Amino acid sequence: MSVRARIIKVGVAKSAEMGIVSLVRFFSVPLFLSCWSADLYGEWLVLYSFIAYFTLGSLGFGQAAANEMTMAVSRDDREAARVTYQSTLAIVLVLCAALLAVGAAVIFALPLHSWLEMKLTSPQEVRWVLVLFLLYVVIWFLSGPVSGAFRAVGKVHRAIGWTNAGMLAEFGAMALALLLHGGFVWVALAMVLARLATVLIMQIDQLVIVPWMRPGFAHASRAEFRRLVSPALAFVAFPLGNTVINQGIIIAIQSVLGPVAVVVFNSLRTLTNMVTRLFDLVNQAFSPEVSMAWGAENRDLLKRLHRVSCQASFWMGLLSAAGLFLLGPWIFRVWTHGKVEMDLPLFWGFLILVVIRGLWYTSFVVPMSINRHQRSTLGYMVSSVAGLGVSALLLSYGLAWSLAGFVLVEALMAALVLPQSLGLTQDTLARFAAGVLPPPNPFSVVRMALGKSKGAAA
């Protein structure tokens, strides 16, 4: 399969994922509210939010290992890929056991029911739902090596496809439990069983597609574990930085400007974050190819992938920002039913952030895909803390000033990421700019989508 074909397949799979996530979120609200009261649904959402915190327990080993396996296979070193695969499986099992033990101990020892101010849910229900959510997350951790194996042989679209099917299965299982008048525990159990079935099917499919990567510990290595620790923990730094600045600014706005300002800020951020989802789609499609090109020491292809992906993100960001500039106020008014007043300076600030992010966010795929991202993610986490401080200090001048710290973070990341990526791809800033800044030929894009283009990435 050609590079172009793999990129298109991943892009289609990720687009389907975005659509499924949006549809599930859209239909979940009326589904739950048709079976439960609004207050009961609110308590469910509080418990459901714990899944995001449990997920941090993976410590990034799955992503780091997937990169290593992909690079090993691309240089025709199956033995190294097997070592990484089985070492990661051993690490994941240890992390799963630790998370279950510590998580269950905390859940049963602490008075979470009273801390969370649950009024309609019993203490026993709270405990068992959280334990089931722990299992839900742990089961998904076990799919990490499986997804890495698919990625290593250029079949990551299959892993994404199974993930998409799993999301639909989970939604169907939840719907069935709700329609059968199930409570919190039954709905959580339905989610766990659907996820378990998905992971088992993924594992079977992986053994068919990549039979030489089999579960076991004969090839597991402590040295491999030590090698993966640094890039794995660095993967955690990025979501931590996101949490610090994105959640911290909400608390700061609430304290300084009040809840109405929080609603305005959060609504406008949600609207403009749709563009970042497009960046994520490009990143996911190109990341496996970057790992392969680096492992095969194909610097010409690596340079081409870097330029093409950044050009796609930059122009999607620019055109999306222009479209939102023109239609954003109308979309916002319709979306919020006119109940939230748009803050135009804040909105324009978010659009500027989108354009700045387009300059570095996809370029970051290069170091991230070859496990050379430690410095950049550390810089992101530190700058997020500093940016939060700057934004909080300037809030008294108006809501638009809340973005000052975000601009600082984006500018610093552009200064960190671009030079590193250019060095890794052996490119120059002038040649990179010449390849990225001109708009892509729309006819070439259509031909590529139809699988008819030729060139370096073919």
Task: Please report, in tens digits, the pLDDT of each residue of the chain (458 residues total).
Answer: 778 888 888 888 988 988 888 888 778 878 888 888 878 888 888 888 788 777 776 678 888 999 999 999 999 999 999 999 999 999 989 989 998 999 999 999 988 888 877 888 888 999 999 999 999 999 999 998 999 999 999 899 999 999 999 999 999 999 999 999 889 999 999 999 999 999 999 999 999 999 999 998 888 888 988 888 889 888 888 888 888 888 788 888 888 888 788 888 888 888 888 888 888 888 888 999 999 999 988 989 999 999 999 998 899 888 988 999 999 889 888 877 777 788 899 999 999 998 888 889 899 999 999 999 999 999 999 999 999 999 999 998 989 999 999 999 999 999 999 999 999 999 999 999 998 888 876 555 445 444 444 444 44
**How long is the chain?**
458
Distances (CA, A) of 129 to 49, 107, 134, 176: 12, 10, 9, 17
Other Cβ atoms less than 10 A from the Cβ of 452: the count is: 10
Report domain extents, the chain. Answer: 3-220, 229-449
CB 156 within 8 A of CB 150: yes
Distances (CA, A) of 171 to 5, 26, 158, 168, 388: 30, 12, 20, 5, 36
Residue pointed to by tokens 């076991």: 216
Burial of 441 (C-beta count, 10 Å sphere; 0-12/13-18/19+): exposed
CA 277 to mean position of chain CA atoms:
9
Q: Using the 8-state DSSP alphabet, how is residue 121 labeled?
A: S
Distances (CA, A) of 153 to 283, 288, 373: 18, 9, 23
Which residue type, as a one-letter code, is found at position 450?
L
Other Cβ atoms less than 10 A from the Cβ of 375: the count is: 13
Reading the block at residue 337, the tokens are: 């039913």
Distances (CA, A) of 177 to 51, 132, 180, 195, 255: 19, 15, 5, 15, 40
The pLDDT assigned to 244 comes to 85
Q: Note the pTM of the prediction, 2 decimals.
A: 0.81
Give the N- to C-terminal CA distance of the chain in Å, as an integer.
9
Q: What is the CA radius of gyration of the chain?
A: 23
CB 210 within 8 A of CB 152: yes
Angle, CA of 436, 236 and 238, to the nearest 5°:
35
Concatenating the DSSP letter of every residue in 299-365 gives HHHHHHHHHHHHHHHHHHHHHHHHHHHHHHHHHHHHHTTT-S---HHHHHHHHHHHHHHHHHTTTTH
CA-nearest of 309, 445, 437, 300 to 369 is 309
Reading the block at residue 244, the tokens are: 């610090």
The pLDDT assigned to 341 comes to 82
CA 114 to mean position of chain CA atoms:
32
The 10 Å CB-count burial string (b at 16+, else e) for 314-341 is bbbbbebbeebeeebeeebeeeeeeebe
CB 13 within 8 A of CB 94: no
Round to whole Å and give the CA distance between 263 and 332. 12
Residue pointed to by tokens 């729309």: 442
The pLDDT assigned to 273 comes to 82
Other Cβ atoms less than 10 A from the Cβ of 300: the count is: 11
